[in-house]
Amino acid sequence: MSDVRVYPGRPSGCLTAPPSKSAAHRALICAALARGESEIAPVSDSTDMAATLGVLAAMGQRTERDGKTVRFRGMPWVKQPVVLNCRESGSTLRFLLPVAAALGLSATFLGEGRLPERPIGVLTEQLTRHGISVTGSGMPFSIKGKLTGGVFTLPGDVSSQFISGLLFALPLLMQDSEIRLTTPLESAAYVDMTLSALADAGIRIERTGDGFLIKGGQLYRPGRKTVEGDFSNAAFWLCAGVIGGTIAIDGLQGQSVQGDRAIVKLAQAFGASVSAQNGQITVESAPLRGIRIDAAPIPDLVPILAVTAAFAQGDTEIYNAARLRIKESDRLSAVSGLIRNLGGEAQEFPDRLIIRGSGGLRGGEVDGMNDHRIVMSAAIAALFCHEPVVIRGAQAVRKSYPDFFEDLKRLGGRYDVI
C-alpha cells in the first residue's frame, strides 16, 4: 500500500480496540528485564512493536511469537558491542537508551525517518553525568560505560519518555537514585502508565514533591500480562462517531491510566452522545460545536481532534501544542494543511491551532507526511467529505495500526489502493 482513495460514506458498527502501543512497549521492556519466563498479549505487528522487540533481541533477549502473543525466556544480556536500530520509534530509543546504560552495554543507536531529528540531548546529558560516555552529537551515536545512581535532574515539559526511560533503568542499579523535575510534568499520564507497568513487575517507585525516589537493587518479576485496548487509536473511530455515525468500541478500560481516555469527555464536549456499558463505549453524532482543547496532556489526539473540529460549527482552539512540531511530522503544520487541502479553514500559530468549523469538508488530496496519525485522520475526514480523498503515503499506518484500513472496511468504509 502506498496511496489510497477513500470514499464518502457513513460508518457504523462495532470494533474491538487495538492493543495499546504505549502499554505494550512498557510490558515488553518489563518482561525483558525479568529473570524467568513471561508472556505478553496481545501485541500488534506494527513497526514500532517490531522496533522494540528487535532492540531487545539485539541486546540478548530471546523471544517467541505466536500470533499476537510474545514470550520471553529471561536470557542473559550480551557482552559484546551491539547495534540497536530503533527505526522510527521514539519510545524504543528513549526507554531503552537508559536501560542499555544501566546494563553496561556498549551500544550504537540508529534511527530512521524523523527520529534522528527529535531531541535527545536532555537525556544523554544526564547519562554523561552518571558514568556514560556518549560519542556523536546526533544519530547514529554510541554509548559506553555503566550508569551510576544519584540525582537525575530534568525538565518535566520536554518529554515524559525521558523520565519513563530512567524509571525503567534506575531500579537495576545497586545505588539508590532520585529524579528531580525542574518544571511541571507534562503528559503525566504516560509516566503513570510506566509506574503502573513497573508496579505490576514488582518494582517500587516513591513519588516526591518534585519527582521520584528509586531504590537500587530491585528485581523485575516475570509473569503474564494482558495489554489493554488503546484509547489513542480507538479515538479515530470514536471521532468518526462524533462527526456522523454511530460507532461502538469494545475493550477499552474505563479506569485506564491512559491519558488519551480524555477522548470520551472531549467527544461529549463537542456535543456527541456517549454511553459506556459492559466494557463498550458507544458514540453517536449530534450537532457539534467548537471547543477549546489543551493539547499538553494529549498530544497524540490533536490530529483527529482538529479534523473533528472542522465538522463542528464555530471555532475550536487547540493550545499548548508546540511539542507537536517534533513528532513523526510537524503535526501542527501537517494537520492544518490537511484541513485546508480538503476545503476547510485552519490557522497555524507557533504553539496552537484555530480551526474555523463550518460543518463539513469538500474533499481533495492529502500528503500523509509519513505520519500514521495524519494518514488516519485524513481517512476519517474522507468518510464525511462531499468528494473522495486521495491520501499519499498511506502505508505510514503500519507504525502503530497496521489493520487500520481493514477496520475502516469493517465499519462500512470504502477505499481503493491507487
Give the start-to-end residue ranges of the domains of the chain. Answer: 4-17+229-417, 21-223
Per the listing, cell 481533495 goes with: 364
Report domain 21-223's class: alpha beta
User: Could you please report the per-residue DSSP string of 332-346?
Assistant: HHHHHHHHHHTT--E
- Residue pair 177/171 in contact (Cβ under 8 Å)? The answer is no
Cell numbers standing for residue 274:
456517549
> Which cell goes with 59?
541486546
Sign of CA dihedral 111, 115, 117, 122: negative
* pLDDT tens sequence across 61-105: 989 999 999 999 989 999 999 999 999 999 999 999 999 999 999
List of residues 6+ apart from 399 with CB closer than 8 A: 46, 47, 48, 88, 89, 328, 372
Residue 53's pLDDT is 97
| Superfamily for domain range 4-17+229-417 | Enolpyruvate transferase domain (3.65.10.10)
Tell me the three-class secondary structure of 351-389, residue by residue.
CEEEEEEECCCCCEEEECCCCHHHHHHHHHHHCCCCCCE
Is position 416 annotated as part of the catalytic site? no
pLDDT in tens, 370-406: 999 999 999 999 999 999 999 999 999 999 999 999 9
pLDDT at 1: 66
How far is it, in rounded angstroms, from Cα 45 to Cα 418?
Answer: 24
Ranking 140-149, 183-192, 281-290 by mean pLDDT, the lowest is 183-192
State the average pLDDT over residues 147-176.
95
- Taking the mean position of all CA atoms in its chain, how far away is CA 288? 27
CA 8 to chain centroid, in Å, comes to 28
Q: What is the pTM of this model?
A: 0.94
End-to-end CA distance of the chain: 8
pLDDT at 247 > cutoff 80: yes
The reported pLDDT for the residue numbered 238 is: 98
Is 119 or 48 the better-scoring residue by pLDDT? 48
Report residue 362's pLDDT band, with 50, 70 and 90 as the boundaries. very high
Residues 322-331 pLDDT 10s: 999 989 999 9
- Note the pLDDT of residue 85: 98
4-17+229-417 and 21-223 share one CATH topology?
A: yes
pLDDT at 289: 97
Q: Which of 300, 367, 371, 407 is catalytic?
A: 300
The confidence score (pLDDT) of residue 257 equals 93
Q: Is 280 exposed, middle or buried (0-12, 13-18, 19+ CB in 10 A)?
A: middle
What is the percent of the chain where pLDDT is above 70? 100
Quick one: how far is CA 322 from the chain centroid?
17
The chain-wide mean pLDDT, for the chain, equals 96
pLDDT at residue 67, rounded to an integer: 94
Residue 271 has pLDDT above 90, yes or no: yes
Closest by CA to 234, choosing from 199, 200, 279, 201, is 279
Total residues belonging to the chain: 418
Mean pLDDT of 189-206: 97
